[in-house]
Structure 1
Amino acid sequence: MKKAKGQNLVVGAGVLALAGLVAKVLSAVYRVPFQNLVGNTGFYVYQQVYPIYGIGMVFALSGWPVFVSKLIAEQSDDPLNQQLIARRMFWLLLGISAGLFALIYGGAPVLAILMGNDRQLIGVIQAVAWMFWFMPFLTVGRGFAQGRQDMLPTAISQVIEQIVRVAVILIAAYWAMNHDWSMYRMGAWTTFSATIAGLAATITLTASLRSVWQDPLPKALGKRPEFAWSRLFKRLLDEGGLLAMIAALLVLLQLMDSFSVKVLLEQSGLTATLAEATKGVYDRGQPMVQLGMVVATGLGTSLLPVLRQHILREDEDAFRADFQMTMRLSVLFSVITTVGLIVIMPTLNQMLFGSMQGSKALSWYSLTIIPATLITVLVATLQSLNRTRGLGWMITATILLKIGLNALLVPGWQIDGASVATLIALLPLTIFTIVRIPRFVWSNWRPSRWYAKLASISIMVGSLAGFCRYYGSLVLGSSRIASIEVTLLAVVVGTGAFIGGLVWTQILSADEWKALPKGDRIYERLMKRK
C-alpha cells in the first residue's frame, strides 16, 4: 500500500508538472499572433490590465490551492474534517473575492488614472474584475483534490482554462480587426476571456466541488478550536498570502510597470501615443521570459515535490542530493536559454513581432530568466524546510525597489531602463533565498570545474548561434521571411552546440541525464558509443 501511494504521488506530481508546462506554453505563445493582429498599441492596452488577471490566476492556481491542499492533507484521516475546512475556506475566499471585485470594479477609474491617466482603460479593468467571483470555486476545487493526492482535476482544469482563454482572446482580436472595433473595446473582450475561462475551469471541477458538500456535518465539529473561523482566516492571510505573493512575484512587478512605465516615458519626452506603442514593445519581453523559464521551472516543479517526502522521512542525504541536482539543472538550462535568447534576439523579435524595435531592452529583460528561475527553485525548497520567515518582507522590498528603479532609470534609458530595473530588483531576493538555504544542503553542491564547463558550453552556444544570426542576416537580408529562416537556423545550430557541449564537457551525471525527458535513452546511446 505504501509503495502504491508513493507511486501515486510521483505520478500526480508528473501530471501536474506536465499540465503546468502546457498551460505556460499556451500562455506565452498566444501573445505572438495576438500582437500581430492588434499591433503595439493594442498589445499595450491588453498588457496594461493583464497583471490584474495574472494575480487572480496565480491566487486561484498556484497560491491559495496549495495552502488549501495543505490544510486538507493535515486532516488526511478524517473526511468530515476535510469537508468542514474546505467549506469554511470557500466562504472565506468568497468574502475576499467580493472585496477584490468591489475594489477593482469600483476602483477602475482610479486604477486607470494610475496607469498613465488613460481613462479609456476603465472598461477594460472592469471587464477583468468579474473573474474574481470564480476564485473560491477554483481554489477549493483544486485544493481539496490536491489535498487528497488527486492531481488530475487541477491538471485538467488548468489546461482547459488556458485553452478557452486563448481561444476567446484570439477570436476577439480577429473580430475586432475585421469589424473596426476600438483597441479598448477589443481589450475589454480579451480581458473578459478570463471570466469565461474561469467558468469553463469551474465546470471541470464539478466532481471535486461536489465532494466538499457530499456529507452532513455534526454541529460539534465546527466548534473545535482548530477549525474556528478566526484561526482559519488568520492562516489564510499569513500562510496562504505568502504562498500567493511568492507565486505572483513576476506579475506584481509587471503591475508596477503598468502603473509607471507609460507615465515615465511621457516624462522623458514621448507623446502619449508613442509612449503607449513603446510600452507595447517592452511588453514583448514577458512571453519570451515565460517561454525561457518553461524548461527550467518545469524541471524544478517535477523534482521539488520529492523534497518534502525526504523531509518527512528525515532522509537528509536524499534531500541534499535531489536539491543539488535540481539546482544544477536549473542553473544550466536558465543560463543557456538566456544566452541563446540574447544572441538571436533581433531576428527572433522580428520573426515573432514583425520588427527589431526594442531588441536591446528585450535582451536585458531576458536576463531576468536566471534570477527568476533560481528564486522559484529556492523558495520551493525553503517551503519544504518551513524556512519562509522574512520572505514576505523581501518580496515587498523587491516591489518597492522595482518602483524606485523605474523612476530612476526609465526617464533616461526608457524601456531599456525598465528591463534593467526588473533585473536589479530581483537580485536581493535571489541572494536572500540562497543565504536562507541551510549550509549542509549546499555542501559540495557542484562537482569540480562545473562553472568552467558551464562557461564553455555557454560560449559554444552563444558563438555558434550568434554567428548564424549575424552572417545569416547578411546573406539572406532583413525581411521578416529572412528573419524566420535565420532564427530557425540559429536555434538548430545552437541546440546542436548545446548537446555537443553536454557530451564534450560531461557536465551532467548519469542521474541528471535520467532526470531529463527521454534522458535515460540518450544517456544509454552515449554510453554505447563510448
Structure 2
Amino acid sequence: MHDQNDKVNDELTQEKMLEGSAWMTAGSILSRILGAVYIIPWSLMLDNLYLQANALYVQGYNVYSLILIISIAGIPSAIAKQVAHYNALNEYGVSVRLYKRGLLLSLMTGIVCAMLLYFGAPLFDNGNTNLIPVMHSLAWAVLIIPTMSLTRGYFQGFQDMAPSAISQFVEQLFRVIYMLVAVFFIIKMMRGSWVTAVSQSTFAAFIGSLAGLLILGLYYFKRRKYYRRLINNSNNELHVNANKLYVEIIQQAIPFVILGAGISIFQLIDQFTFFKIMNIATNYSSATLNQLYAIFAGNANKLIMITISLSSAMAITVVPLLSAAYTRKDKREIGHQISSGFVLFAFVMIPAALGMTAVAGPLNRVFYGNLNGSLSANVLAFSSIISISFGLFTVVSAMMQGISRNRIAVKFFVYGTIVKFITQFPMVYIFKEFGPLISSGIGFMVANGLIIRLLNKQYSIKSYDMLNKLNWIVLFSLITYLVALTSVYAGNLLVSLFINQYGRVGSFVVVSISSLIGGLVYVYLALKSRIADDVLGNKAEVLRQKLRIK
C-alpha cells in the first residue's frame, strides 16, 4: 500500500513538474523567439550600422542585467521557495504575509538600483560614452521589474505557472513593438542618430515591464478569492514576525542573486576583457573588434538563449517542488525529482542545441543576413554546443537552491568563475572570438561537475535507469543532428532551383524544412523507444496512437 501511494505521489509530482514546465517553457520560448525575431526588421532599419548598434546594445544590456539581478535580489525565486515551504505546512497565511513583506523590499531595491544604474552610468561605460544614454534609458525598467518578478515568484510558489508565462510573453511583445516603432521613427522618419535609436530600443524594457506587471495584477485580482479560501483553511499555527520574514527573504535571496547572475557575470567578464586581450593579440581596429564582439556576445547569444530558456523554465519549476519535498524530509522523492529533472533537461536541451548547430548557417542568414557569413555561422554553431553547459548550470543551481544547499552552490560557482578568469586570456589570445565561449564552457563545466557530484553523493541520483535514458537521448539527438545537417545540404540544392538559397527567404525555407525533418525524426525515435513516456507521461501514448507508432 505504501509503495502504491509513493507511485501515485511520484505521478502527481511528475504531472506538476510537466505542467509547470510546459507553461514556463511556452512563455519563455515564445518571449525568447520574439526577442530574436525583432532582430530581422531592426537590423534592416539600421542597415550598415547594425553591428555597431548591436555591440552598444549588448554592452548596455550586460550591465543592466547584472544591476537588474541585484535589484531583484533573487527575491522571486526565494519567495517561490519559501511560499512552497509554508504551503507544504498548510500555512498559507504566512505565505501571503511573506509576499506583502517582499513587495516592500522589492520596491526599495528597485529604487536604489535604478539610481545606481542612472547616476553610476559613467562608471560602467568601459570608455565608451555612447553607453551612458543607453544605461540611463534602462534605469527606468529597474524601477518596476523587481515588483513584477516578485509577483511571478509568488504565483510559482503555488505551482501556478500560467501567470508568469503569459506575463513574460506580453512583456516581450510590448517591448518589441515599442522598440521597432521607435527605431523606425528615429532612423527612417527623422534621420536621427543610431545611438538615440539604441537608447529607445533599450527604453522599451520599461514599456514591456509595465505591460507584464498589469497582466500579473489582473491574475492576482482574479485569484484573490481562491487565496482567501486557502488562508481560511490553513492550520494557522505558525506566527512568524515581520523581522523574521525579512531575514528569511534576504537569507534565501543572496545566493539566488549570485547564481541567477551566473551567465551575466561571465558575459561581463567577456565585455571588460575581450577588447583588452584582443588589442594585445591582434592589431584589429576598434570597429572590427566591435563587430567580432557583436557576433559572439550579441548575434549568437540571442539565438542560443532560446534553447537556454528551455532549461531555465524547467529550473524555475523544479525549485518549489524540491522545496516542498525537502520540507517533508522525503529523501526518496528529492532523489526522484532530481533524476527526473536531469532527464527532462536532456530530453529537450540536447536535441535543441544540436539541432541549432546543424542549421546554424541558414539560421544565421535568416536573422543577420550575410554579414560576416561563415564566421557568424561558425560562432553560432559553436555557441549552440557550449549552451548545453550554460543551460545545465541553470538547472543544477536551481536544484541546489530547492534543497537549501545555496551556500555550497555559490562556492562551486565561485570555483567555476575562477577557472573562467584563469582560462580567459589564453583562450581569447589563441582562439580570438571563440575564446570567451571556450573559457565560459570550461568554467560552467567545473561548477556543474562539482554540483552533480554532491547531488549524487547525498541523494544517489546516478542510477542505471537514469543513465540508460540519458544515453538513448544523446544517441537520438546525434541521429537528429545528422539528419538535420543532411537536410540543410539537400534543402540548399532544392531551394537553389527556385530562389537564392543564401538569401533570407531561401535560408528560412531551408531552416524550416531541416527543422521539421529533424524534429519529426527525434519525436519518432523518442516515442518508438518509449523514452518519451518518462518525460510526457500518459500523453506519450496518446501521441503514439495519433501518429500510429507501435
Name the TM tier (shorter chain): 0.7 to 0.9
> 1:68-107 CA distances to partner (integer Å, 9 max, x unpaired)?
2444455556677556544443333333333322322122
Deviation of the 1:322 alpha carbon: 4.1
Are the counterparts in 2 of residues 52 and 128 from structure 1 also a CA contact under 8 Å? Answer: no
Which residue number corresponds to residue 277 of structure 1? 291
Asked if 1:463 corresponds to 2:482, the answer is yes
Superposed, which structure 2 residues align to 1:2-151 within 5 Å? 15-38=23-46, 39-55=50-66, 63-72=74-83, 84-112=97-125, 114=126, 117-147=127-157, 151=161
Deviation of the 1:125 alpha carbon: 1.1
2:344 and 2:159 map into 1 onto residues whose CA distance is: 27
1:519 corresponds, among 521, 535, 540, to: 540
> 1:130-158 CA distances to partner (integer Å, 9 max, x unpaired)?
22221443244334454566555434433
Which residue number corresponds to residue 510 of structure 2? 486
2:492 and 2:44 map into 1 onto residues whose CA distance is: 22
1:412 and 1:21 map into 2 onto residues whose CA distance is: 35
**Residue identity matched to 1:514:** L
> 1:404-443 CA distances to partner (integer Å, 9 max, x unpaired)?
4333322442211122122122111110121121342223
Are the counterparts in 1 of residues 315 and 399 from structure 2 also a CA contact under 8 Å? Answer: no
> 1:317-361 CA distances to partner (integer Å, 9 max, x unpaired)?
554444323322322432222222223222221122102242222
**Residue identity matched to 2:338:** F
Asked if 1:422 corresponds to 2:422, the answer is no
1:88 and 1:448 map into 2 onto residues whose CA distance is: 46
Are the counterparts in 1 of residues 20 and 159 from structure 2 also a CA contact under 8 Å? Answer: yes
1:136 and 1:295 map into 2 onto residues whose CA distance is: 22
Which residue number corresponds to residue 347 of structure 1? 362
Asked if 1:239 corresponds to 2:252, the answer is yes
Deviation of the 1:191 alpha carbon: 1.1
After superposition, the Cα gap between the structure-2 partners of 1:73 and 1:48, relative to the gap in structure 1 and judged at 3 Å, is same
Are the counterparts in 2 of residues 344 and 487 from structure 1 also a CA contact under 8 Å? Answer: yes
Q: Secondary structure at the match of 2:283?
A: coil
Deviation of the 1:314 alpha carbon: 5.1
Asked if 1:338 corresponds to 2:353, the answer is yes
1:78 and 1:312 map into 2 onto residues whose CA distance is: 13
Deviation of the 1:497 alpha carbon: 3.1
1:487 and 1:12 map into 2 onto residues whose CA distance is: 29
Are the counterparts in 2 of residues 374 and 430 from structure 1 also a CA contact under 8 Å? Answer: yes
**Residue identity matched to 2:540:** G
**Residue identity matched to 2:424:** N
2:207 and 2:57 map into 1 onto residues whose CA distance is: 16
Q: Secondary structure at the match of 1:414?
A: helix
2:355 and 2:25 map into 1 onto residues whose CA distance is: 24
Unpaired runs of at least 5, structure 2: 1-8, 229-237
Deviation of the 1:121 alpha carbon: 1.1
After superposition, the Cα gap between the structure-2 partners of 1:363 and 1:301, relative to the gap in structure 1 and judged at 3 Å, is same
Are the counterparts in 2 of residues 58 and 244 from structure 1 also a CA contact under 8 Å? Answer: yes
1:303 and 1:238 map into 2 onto residues whose CA distance is: 20
1:160 and 1:373 map into 2 onto residues whose CA distance is: 24
Deviation of the 1:194 alpha carbon: 1.5
Which residue number corresponds to residue 195 of structure 2? 184
Superposed, which structure 2 residues align to 1:236-315 within 5 Å? 236-267=249-280, 268-282=282-296, 283-298=298-313, 305-313=320-328, 315=330
Are the counterparts in 1 of residues 255 and 407 from structure 2 also a CA contact under 8 Å? Answer: no
Deviation of the 1:35 alpha carbon: 3.5
Are the counterparts in 2 of residues 405 and 421 from structure 1 also a CA contact under 8 Å? Answer: yes
Count of residues paired in the alignment = 509
RMSD, aligned CA:
3.7
> 1:44-87 CA distances to partner (integer Å, 9 max, x unpaired)?
11111112343456567793112124444555566775565444
Asked if 1:366 corresponds to 2:366, the answer is no
Which residue number corresponds to residue 206 of structure 2? 195
> 1:251-308 CA distances to partner (integer Å, 9 max, x unpaired)?
2322323323344444422211222122222221112212223445545655675444
Are the counterparts in 2 of residues 334 and 370 from structure 1 also a CA contact under 8 Å? Answer: yes
2:20 and 2:501 map into 1 onto residues whose CA distance is: 47
1:33 and 1:374 map into 2 onto residues whose CA distance is: 32
1:227 corresponds, among 228, 232, 241, to: 241
1:455 and 1:205 map into 2 onto residues whose CA distance is: 38
Unpaired runs of at least 5, structure 1: 216-223
Are the counterparts in 2 of residues 367 and 423 from structure 1 also a CA contact under 8 Å? Answer: no
Are the counterparts in 1 of residues 343 and 469 from structure 2 also a CA contact under 8 Å? Answer: no
> 1:445-502 CA distances to partner (integer Å, 9 max, x unpaired)?
4365862x44543442233322232354466265314333333332233223323443
Superposed, which structure 2 residues align to 1:202-213 within 5 Å? 202-206=213-217
Deviation of the 1:22 alpha carbon: 3.1
2:114 and 2:22 map into 1 onto residues whose CA distance is: 34
Are the counterparts in 2 of residues 364 and 420 from structure 1 also a CA contact under 8 Å? Answer: no
After superposition, the Cα gap between the structure-2 partners of 1:385 and 1:465, relative to the gap in structure 1 and judged at 3 Å, is same
After superposition, the Cα gap between the structure-2 partners of 1:237 and 1:269, relative to the gap in structure 1 and judged at 3 Å, is farther
1:15 and 1:457 map into 2 onto residues whose CA distance is: 25
2:23 and 2:340 map into 1 onto residues whose CA distance is: 21
Which residue number corresponds to residue 221 of structure 1? none
* TM-score after normalising by structure 2: 0.80
Deviation of the 1:368 alpha carbon: 2.1
2:360 and 2:413 map into 1 onto residues whose CA distance is: 30
Higher mean C-alpha displacement, 426-435 vs 162-171: 162-171
